[in-house]
Structure 1
Amino acid sequence: MNILVGSRNPAKINAVQAIFPHAKIDGIEVASQVSSQPFSHEETLEGAINRARECAQTKKGVMGIGLEGGVTELSGQIYLCNWGSLVDEEGNEFTAAGASIPLPEEVANGLVKGKELGDIMEEYTQQQGIRKKEGAIGVFTNQLVDRQAMFSHVVTLLKGQYEFTQKRMAE
């Protein structure tokens, strides 16, 4: 099995590798075709689907996976959100969402002003490269759930749907 992940971000690639340990995994840069800071479930999902589709169309016999992190507002609170999409070799699409947690007001305020979460988190933590390591989820869960684990959960949901469909088609 050959899988292209629509990102070169190690947290995303490693998440896919953890769930598909026997597959050949490569990360490629593709456009999400959404804003650099998706600001709703819909926009975050759209970015994941766009990444997966572009990967799947890159070459024959390849499965595409798109993973997108974003934020969404719910009842006046800004939450992390994340979505994934898997497009198989036949063009079937599967989608799944992952963990959501509320963000502290000082982080949410920066988002409302148009800043990207990754930039805010680097300022907030005084560390570089947060989005490629633990991510905001890691910071705000005291490292109990990092970005790779969060995306691994999404990829597990995608893989389960894909395998269920393959099994049903074989029956």
Structure 2
Amino acid sequence: MKVIIGSKNPAKVSAVQQAFANFQAKVISTDVPSGVREQPFSDDETIEGVVNRAILALETGECDIGIGLEGGVQESSSGLLLCNWGAFVQQEKPPIIAGGARFVLPEEISQRLRAGEELGPVMDDYAKKTNVRKNAGAVGIFTSGLVDRAAMFSHIMHLLIGQYIYRQNDE
């Protein structure tokens, strides 16, 4: 089985590699555009981005599965929520979609995102670190390292693979 993830982000690639560790799978990463804003601002936009990435990943080479993973934000009555989505795409089958954990971002972060900034650079500035998005992620910063970005995406990958196995068994 050959799997292509539509990102070179180490946290995302690690999550895919870990999720396919018990399969006879070769995981390859490639940069493909999401087709949505750099900072997706709703569940729908984030889902559109992961499906786009998964489809484009699938189309980049001869492979069996395309994967898209994306972080975004979603307005709620409690504040701006961090959200994360994933898509699993195969030829001639509908995408499999799954979402992950959510939490309310601090208002000082939310204000900057609402003003048009992207979470990655905002988190670098806030945490006084470089490439937060490629390492712990906002989730790692705001959970004191108890959950990092790779773990969060790993959970989504297990949801996707579980649905894939269910679909295989149901056919």
The reply to whether TM is greater than 0.5 is yes
Tell me the CA shift for residue 93 of structure 1: 1.2
Tell me the CA shift for residue 56 of structure 1: 1.3
The separation in 1 between residues aligned to 2:63 and 2:19, in whole angstroms, is 19
Cα-to-partner distance string for 1:10-30 (whole Å, 9 max, x where unaligned): 000000000101411111010
| 2:45 is the counterpart of 1:43 | yes
Tell me the CA shift for residue 168 of structure 1: 1.1
Residues 19-98 of structure 1 aligned to structure 2 (within 5 Å): 19-21=19-21, 22-75=24-77, 77-98=79-100
Tell me the CA shift for residue 76 of structure 1: 5.2
- The answer to whether the 8 A contact 2:4-2:63 is kept is no
Q: TM-score, normalised by structure 1?
A: 0.96
Aligned position for 1:133: 135
- The answer to whether the 8 A contact 2:78-2:104 is kept is no
Runs of 4+ with >3 A deviation: 89-92
Identity %: 48
3-state DSSP class of the match of 1:85?
A: strand
* Alignment root-mean-square deviation, CA: 1.0
The separation in 2 between residues aligned to 1:90 and 1:119, in whole angstroms, is 37
- The answer to whether the 8 A contact 1:61-1:89 is kept is no
Q: TM-score, normalised by structure 2?
A: 0.96
Number of matched pairs: 169
Structure 2 unaligned runs (5+)? none
